[in-house]
Amino acid sequence: MNQTSNSLFGRLQAACGEDWQAYTGHDFVRQLAAGVLPEAAFRHFLGQDYLFLIHFARAYSLAAYKTTDLAEMRSAVASVHTILNVEMALHVDYCQGWGLDEGAMAALPEAKATLAYTRFVLESGMAGDSLDLYTALAPCVIGYGEIGAALAADPATVRKGNPYASWIEMYAGADYQAVATDAVAQLDRLAEQRLTPARFDALARTFRQATRLETDFWQMGLTLAL
- Is 147 inside any structural domain? yes
Domain that holds residue 105: 8-223
Where does the pLDDT of residue 197 fall: very low under 50, low under 70, confident under 90, or very high at 90 and above? confident
Whether 2 maps to a domain, the answer reads no
- In-domain check, residue 1: no
| Tens-place pLDDT, residues 132-184 | 999 999 999 999 999 999 999 999 999 999 999 999 999 999 999 999 999 99
In a domain, 52, yes or no: yes
- Catalytic, 95? Answer no
Element spanning 29, H or E: helix 27-34
Contacts of 226 (CB under 8 A, 6+ apart): 109, 111, 112
CATH assignment of the domain containing 21? 1.20.910.10
Selecting among 16, 72, 95, 140, the annotated active-site residue is 140
pTM over 0.85: yes
Distance CA(64)–CA(129), nearest Å, equals: 11
User: What's the total number of domains in the chain?
Assistant: 1
Question: Is 39 an annotated catalytic residue?
Answer: no
Q: Taking Cα atoms as reference points, which of 124, 143, 144 lies closest to residue 134?
A: 124
Flag whether 204 is in a domain.
yes
Amino acid letter, 18: E
